[in-house]
């Protein structure tokens, strides 16, 4: 907080830092941030919920982001999502019941030449097939 400066303009940067540190934005974290930046909690909550990058729910131990950009869409991103839903019973925005995997979608990660793509725990995977992605996801360790 000190590094980013206690200015209201730093709110988004602070939210980024908080989410990076805790994995998601807890109610307490939002309240602390509001107090530190001298902003109403409603404003902090409003910003945190406006941007799709921020999440107020705890995430799974592993995160899979399937890109749904135009190139991935015409190359079968929907087939990847369908296969994950069928096999692991988790839909975009949800976390598996055992807390192992959160499934997210991205608007476009800009690696269109490798479509369809997904990012698993920060690693980008390209020219994916449903079996290839599933075998990677089922191999994730608890």
Partner 1 sequence: MSAVRAAPPHHRRTARTAADVRASAHVCLAASCLASGADTVLAALDDEVAGRGLADVEVKRVGCLRLCSAGPLVEVAQSGQLFEHVTAGDLGGVIDALSQVRPDRPRQVSTRPFFTRQRPLVTENFGRVDPESLDDYVAADGYRALRQAITSMTPAQVLGEVTSSGLRGRGGGGYPTGLKWATVAKATAPDGVKYLICNADEGDPGAFMDRSVLESDPHRVLEGMAIAAYAVGANSGFVYCRAEYPLAVSRLRTAIRVARRAGYLGTRVCDSTFAFDVEVRLGAGAFVCGEETALIASIRGGRGTPRPRPPYPAASGLAGRPTLINNVETFAGVPWIIRHGGGAYAAIGTPRSTGTKVFALAGRVRHTGLVEVPMGLTLREIVFDIGGGVPDGRAFKAVQTGGPSGGCLPADHLDMVVDYESLKEAGSIMGSGGMIIMDDTSCMVDVAKYFMDFCRDESCGACVPCRVGTTQLWMLLDRITRGTAERADLDQVERLSSTVAAGSLCGLGQTAPNPVFSTLRYFRQEYLAHIDEGICPAGVCSISEAHA
The region of 24-32, 42-50, 85-93, 95-103 touching partner 1 under the rule CB under 8 A is: 42-50
Q: Does residue number 41 form part of the binding site for partner 1 (CB under 8 A)?
A: no
From candidates 31, 41, 52, 91, binder to partner 1 by CB under 8 A: 52
62-67, strands of its sheet edge to edge: 101-106, 62-67, 118-120, 123-125
What's the min distance (Å) between Cβ of 7 and partner 1? 8
Q: Which of 56, 71, 100, 140 binds partner 1 (CB under 8 A)?
A: 71
Binding-site string for partner 1 from residue 98 to residue 137, where x marks contact by CB under 8 A and - marks none: --------xxxxxxxxxx-x--x-xxxxxxx---x---x-
Only one of the segments 24-32, 70-78, 85-93, 95-103 lies at the binding site for partner 1 (rule: CB under 8 A); that segment is 70-78
Angle at CA 125, nearest 5°, toward 123 and 131?
125
Helix 27-37, helix 11-22: angle, nearest 10 = 150
Q: Rounded CA gap, 65 and 41, in Å?
A: 29
Nearest residue to 66 via CA among 138, 134, 141, 15: 134
């Amino acid at each position: 907080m000190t590094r980013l400066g206690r200015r209201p303009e730093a709110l988004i940067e602070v939210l980024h830092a908080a989410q990076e540190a805790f994995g998601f934005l807890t109610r307490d974290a939002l309240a602390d941030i509001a107090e530190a930046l001298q902003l109403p909690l409603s404003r902090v909550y409003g910003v945190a919920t406006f941007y799709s990058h921020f999440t107020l729910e705890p995430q799974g131990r592993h995160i899979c982001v399937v890109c749904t950009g135009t190139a991935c869409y015409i190359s079968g991103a929907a087939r990847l999502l369908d296969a994950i839903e069928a096999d692991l019973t988790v839909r975009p925005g949800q976390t598996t019941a055992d807390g192992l995997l959160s499934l997210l979608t991205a608007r476009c990660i800009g690696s269109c030449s490798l479509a369809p793509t997904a990012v698993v725990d920060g690693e980008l995977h390209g020219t994916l097939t449903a079996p290839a992605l599933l075998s990677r996801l089922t191999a994730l360790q608890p």
